Structure 1
Amino acid sequence: MKTLITILPLLSVLVVRANNDNGTTVELFYGLRETTPVLESTLQRKWINDLNLNFKSSLIIGPSAFQNITSELIGLTFTNSNTLWLEGESLIGLKAKTLYINKATINLTDNLVVPTTLKVLTLDACETPSTLLGIPRLFPDLEELHLYDNNLPVIGTKAFATMKNLKRLGLVLNRITTLEPGCFKGLNELLVLNLSNNRLTSLPAGVFNGLSKLKHLYVDNCEDLKHIDINAFRGMSSLRELWLQNNALETLQVGMFDELRTLGALLLESNNITHVPKGVFNKVKTLRVISLKNAMISSIEPNAFSVLNLESLDLSGGMRQRALESGIFTGLTVEDLHLRGNGIQEIKPHAWDGLFAETVNLNSNNLTKIVPEYFAGLNTSTLYLLANGITEITPNAFGNTQVKEIDFRNNSIKTIEKATWGLPESVRITIE
């Protein structure tokens, strides 16, 4: 933003004319209260949807300072974490739907009047916990509240209870360690809750009580999160997506997802999960996507995925056992089964029994020699075996396999011998 500053001494007012890149001109009229600048009024010469203003010193927003601004979004960015005062009449006349404040120590007076036109508030890197936790009381009509990169170690009971219309709540990067019981009580209309990148160590029973309309929950990238109580997700009858990746979760408990009867996507990748028990997913028949990619799985119980009808099950890089055991996919119907990069050296007999998969991806494993037992009973359209170091395919290796296409690229297979391998001529083979 290019700025031209003109001082009008007869009026004792500082006028700043700001021209942004598309030629929009905004005039800011300043007064002075002791040594602190006061933004008295603004004049927008040309309309722009997002009006972003940068300040290099502390600032008081005077009464009705923004009443002449017609932009949908007003952004206030401070370069040195200066103090911003919002007083009783500071926001009167505000027409913007969204207010964004960055790097300010915010002081709010108890008599602050907030226009009902304001629906979205974002406070980014405003490290004033007492002020931030007072936001719900002063801004009860918001539809979206985003608190990013602040310092909010504890979210207290009924912290947002006054925000009856809130639909989206973002609490990302706030160094949260504790969610007190009932902290989300009253958020009956909430659809999206984002708790990513915090310092949570556990999710206690009933922590999300009252969020019966919530559709999307993000509790990912919390590197200290090891435990989720079996009743943590109780009452979340509308949840569609649950993001739990990049945490330190160690166990999956049977029953922990049972009440999530509308859940479509469960993302558990990059955790420390070592065991997948039978029954942990069985009651969530709406599931379409499960990701356990890059976990630490050393055992999967037979029938662990039975009765599921998925679009994708991703176990890539998440399995520590070197043999694919029998029965682990029994009863599973899935479009894409991803088993890439697991170091699998052996496939036990009956590993594919009861599996219906459109594609099976075993790329980048260590299946150097293909024998008949490995794929007996497999029924799939496409089998991917790229980059396994395959040097030998024994006679009739695919004699009991139902498959339409096999991809052998990046192996040491130089010639195609369908009849020897037990494959009909109609099967498409790719070797390079």
Structure 2
Amino acid sequence: MQKTALLCYLLFACLCIILAQNDGYKMPRRGRRRMHYRGLRRGSLRNRRPNKQPQAKSPIPTIPVPSIPLINTDGEITEVIDSLIGLDGHESSYSVLPGKEGRCFANGIIMYDKAAWSPKPCVTCLCSKGKVLCDETLCRPLTCHRTKIPEGECCPVCTDIVLSSISLGDASEFSGDSPEPNDLSVKAMQKAHTPDERDVLFKKEGQLLEKKKNIVKENRKRKRIKSQGEGIKQGHENDQKDEESKRKMEEEKRRAYEEEELRIEKELNKKEEESEEKENEHDENEDEDQVEEDILRGDVFRMPPRFPIPEPYAEIPPLPTGCSILDNTASCINAKLTQIPPIMDAQLTSIEFVENSITSIPDDAFNGIPNLERIDLRKNNISSSGIGPQAFKILKNLKRLYLDENALVHIPPGLPSTLEELKINENQLHAIDENSFQDLKSLVTLELEGNKLSEANVSPLAFQPLKSLSYLRLGRNKYRTIPQGLPHSIEELYLDNNQIEEITEICFNRTKNLNIIDLRHNKLEESRIAPLAWINHENLESIDLSYNKIYHVPSYLPKSLLHLILIGNQIDRIPGFVFGHMKPGLEYLYLSFNKLDDYGIDPVSFYGAYHSLREFFLDHNQLKSVPLGIAEMRSLSFLRLNNNKIRSVPPERICKTRHNHEDHEEEDDDDDKSEEEHDYEDSQLEHLHLEYNYINTRDLSPYAFSCVRSYSSVILKPQTIK
């Protein structure tokens, strides 16, 4: 009888202790925040939806789940497992360490009193007054048909429907509950009608599930290591100072962690509330189940993902194969593109899509790269009909546009006013109207070579809007006359490889700033060049009339001319004084590949150019002797007389010597003369070509080339043997 009473008394005392501890139980801070916030939110939802009837939901059977012991940073037990009072638990067979009161010996390790550990998955043990008490985690019942125990987990989960995507802060563990009614992934699954669409969704959701489970595993591992470390540190009394400093550091980390967790949770709660207001489909009991599940797990050290997972449709498509980005330039050269790839990078200033098969430029082609300054689309198949009227409207900084070797028949519309350089060479342009270059007031360079342009299909007012144009290339077209209406600002004009036959007096009346004119490969004759066409131009320095039908060096050349190229004509005469009116004087004269002979060059043909001419090309003509007047050219540095019929080089034809004629008549003074009498006065000649003539080098005077600065620069071999 006494034993029975004593046993009842002990049981009663244990029950009182348990009740006192349960009264003093404090919910984890995160659980309190969630319950308080969600309680307020449910209250606000009830106020907003007073007439909505709660949906009936099948009750979930409640099974007592043993709580897991948690050890805080101070080493104290904040929850007591049910095994202490014998609920669903059993005493372990682990032995008590003899001679050391309150300590346990488990798996070869000394465990101090109140230490907790997990000897195997899903089992949690506690050292209590020398005894090892263990609990096995019980799992909630599942209502689904197909279940699976994930690797590293204790309880099975449903595999019938993939759980929803991980939101920004939702890192709670996965249970066997069904998905929420407002789950976005479930809605997406419902919309997917075909098996292929469902497979894609299952694959994406499975990847997100793996990421979430990894986060949960890391948190559990961190807690176990932390709990074991705290239990061992309690037994070392000699290291109290080190332990205290570590505790403070851990406390600061925990506090910072909780503050960061609170901030993220507030943001998530705000997003959840906005989602609830839009969807208007919520289950009021669902939040309570989630909070209860969080408390039972005791998962207070959960960490939400640090970075959001982008939706598949929000991902920026990568660059195609063969493309790269370097120094704010996207390059796709010969990458087999058929359209301009979508690029979203406001930092790009240049794109190079050369040698592809692009056929069009739609209106939204450059929406993702609005700060472009240079576009290179050469060697594609872009047609005029494929360019949208608003394609270039968004480009407020565009300065250079290259469209060479495409299939354009018209100038692209809507070009930005900031454009400074436009190249549309080698296309099929066959018309330019007065509005083609409208608003292009900043355009400096325009290249339209290799098209089908002529004075018949180009409006005389087409170039008028180009107020800043200075460089114009119209070569390889079908012009028969000089284009009219050129802007005043033009400085360089290239009209080579056309069919121009005449230059009238009014052709260049408005272009007083012209500096270079290229008229190679046309059908010009000197008689068809008007005397007043360009003689009064003060800035015109270079004229190229090569490969035309010119028989004489043209008269009435510009006064300011420095560079005259007449290669490949039929010139057989250089009139006298033809260069006499030029100031400061002609510097470069190229007459190669003509029909000049000794009778076509007058003694005064080079009058006006003796002091200025630097380069003189007379190769590939029919000269039989060195022309008169060359020795008078004091500034000449490069002379070509090769490929002629020259047989001899008199001593003073190329290099003029100094002779004191008065002293030369006295024979007694001949021996006193030095070699300085034969030196060239201030010679500049550095290169002399006389090869492929009929010169006998043995008959040459030793003073024939004395004015050449280096004898190695005199080319005499080979000579033609007759």
| 1:198-277 to 2 correspondences below 5 Å | 198-220=498-520, 222-227=521-526, 228-255=529-556, 257=557, 260-277=558-575
SS in 1 for 2:447: strand
| 1:8-407 to 2 correspondences below 5 Å | 17-18=319-320, 20=322, 22-23=324-325, 42-44=343-345, 47=348, 49-52=350-353, 56=357, 58-62=359-363, 65-66=366-367, 68-77=369-378, 79-80=380-381, 82-94=383-395, 95-102=397-404, 103-106=406-409, 112-131=413-432, 134-137=435-438, 139-154=440-455, 157-179=460-482, 183-185=484-486, 187-220=487-520, 222-227=521-526, 228-255=529-556, 257=557, 260-286=558-584, 287-298=586-597, 299-308=600-609, 309-325=611-627, 327-329=628-630, 332-336=633-637, 337-346=639-648, 351=653, 384=688, 387=691, 389-390=695-696, 392-393=698-699, 397=701, 403=707, 406=711
- What CA distance in whole angstroms lies between the structure 2 residues aligned with 1:16 and 1:130? 39
Percent identity, aligned pairs only? Answer: 17
Measure how far apart 1:276 and its partner are: 0.5
Measure how far apart 1:174 and its partner are: 1.8
**AA at the equivalent of 1:393:** D
- What CA distance in whole angstroms lies between the structure 2 residues aligned with 1:321 and 1:106? 50
- What CA distance in whole angstroms lies between the structure 1 residues aligned with 2:502 and 2:445? 26
SS in 1 for 2:614: strand
**AA at the equivalent of 2:594:** A
Aligned partner of 2:214 in structure 1 is none
Change in Cα spacing, 1:406 to 1:44, as seen in structure 2 (3 Å) is same
- What CA distance in whole angstroms lies between the structure 1 residues aligned with 2:636 and 2:544? 21
- What CA distance in whole angstroms lies between the structure 1 residues aligned with 2:323 and 2:341? 25
Measure how far apart 1:151 and its partner are: 0.7
Change in Cα spacing, 1:64 to 1:225, as seen in structure 2 (3 Å) is same
SS in 2 for 1:335: coil
Measure how far apart 1:150 and its partner are: 0.7
* Larger helix fraction of residues: 2
- What CA distance in whole angstroms lies between the structure 1 residues aligned with 2:320 and 2:433? 30
Measure how far apart 1:253 and its partner are: 3.3
**AA at the equivalent of 1:204:** T
The count of aligned residue pairs is: 363
**AA at the equivalent of 2:696:** I
- What CA distance in whole angstroms lies between the structure 2 residues aligned with 1:412 and 1:144? 46
Measure how far apart 1:209 and its partner are: 1.9
- What CA distance in whole angstroms lies between the structure 2 residues aligned with 1:381 and 1:120? 41
Q: Runs of 5+ in structure 1 lacking a partner?
A: 1-9, 29-36, 357-375, 414-432
Measure how far apart 1:251 and its partner are: 2.3
Measure how far apart 1:354 and its partner are: 8.0
Q: Deviations over 1:160-190 (max 9, x none)?
A: 122111111111222322325xx144x1112
CA contact (8 A) 2:593 2:619 kept: yes
Measure how far apart 1:241 and its partner are: 2.2
Change in Cα spacing, 1:272 to 1:69, as seen in structure 2 (3 Å) is farther
CA contact (8 A) 2:346 2:370 kept: no
CA contact (8 A) 2:339 2:358 kept: no
Change in Cα spacing, 1:280 to 1:21, as seen in structure 2 (3 Å) is farther
Q: CA RMSD in A?
A: 4.1
- What CA distance in whole angstroms lies between the structure 1 residues aligned with 2:705 and 2:655? 11
Measure how far apart 1:275 and its partner are: 0.8
SS in 1 for 2:438: helix
SS in 2 for 1:61: coil
Measure how far apart 1:297 and its partner are: 1.7
Change in Cα spacing, 1:22 to 1:207, as seen in structure 2 (3 Å) is same
Change in Cα spacing, 1:226 to 1:26, as seen in structure 2 (3 Å) is same
Q: TM-score, normalised by structure 1?
A: 0.69
Q: Deviations over 1:130-183 (max 9, x none)?
A: 247753336344121111211113255344122111111111222322325xx1
- What CA distance in whole angstroms lies between the structure 1 residues aligned with 2:468 and 2:652? 54
- What CA distance in whole angstroms lies between the structure 1 residues aligned with 2:415 and 2:552? 46
CA contact (8 A) 2:433 2:459 kept: no
**AA at the equivalent of 2:583:** K
Change in Cα spacing, 1:199 to 1:241, as seen in structure 2 (3 Å) is same
Aligned partner of 2:202 in structure 1 is none
Measure how far apart 1:250 and its partner are: 2.2
